[in-house]
Amino acid sequence: MAALATPAVAQNIVVPADRAWSESGCLVKGLDPNGDGFLALRAGPGTNYAQIGSLHNGDAAYIYGGRGKWLYVENGSMNGREAKFRGWIYNAWCEFYP
């Protein structure tokens, strides 16, 4: 996941002005393994922003804000391991947890 190793400043990630931990998270579920099989992690809230990484079924992310159906997330787990990342994901493939 080399795209996530780049410093966030270099990626020009849009960080919400009202960024705050929501005590909620997203467990990625429902992605079609016969389709793309991933949920794009983007630099901003929309498909017009660059993809900077990807999450897969079973990965999780902490929610720190949102715009419409887009969630600003930071850190979580990937492939069952703690991971450091930040960016935006579309909420349609999230199972929300407290």
First to last CA, the chain: 27
The mean of the pLDDT values for the chain is 89
Ranges assigned E (strand) in the chain: 25-28, 39-42, 51-55, 60-67, 70-78, 81-90, 94-97
User: Which token pair is 74?
Assistant: 């930071």
Q: Report residue 42 CA to chain centroid gap.
A: 7
Domains, the chain, in order of start with CATH, read: 21-97 (2.30.30.40)
Which DSSP helix (H) or strand (E) runs through 10? helix 8-11
50-82 per-position pLDDT tens digit: 999 999 999 999 999 999 999 999 999 999 999
pTM (predicted TM-score) = 0.85
Asked if 30 and 16 touch (Cβ cutoff 8 Å), the reply is no
Percent of the chain with pLDDT over 70: 89
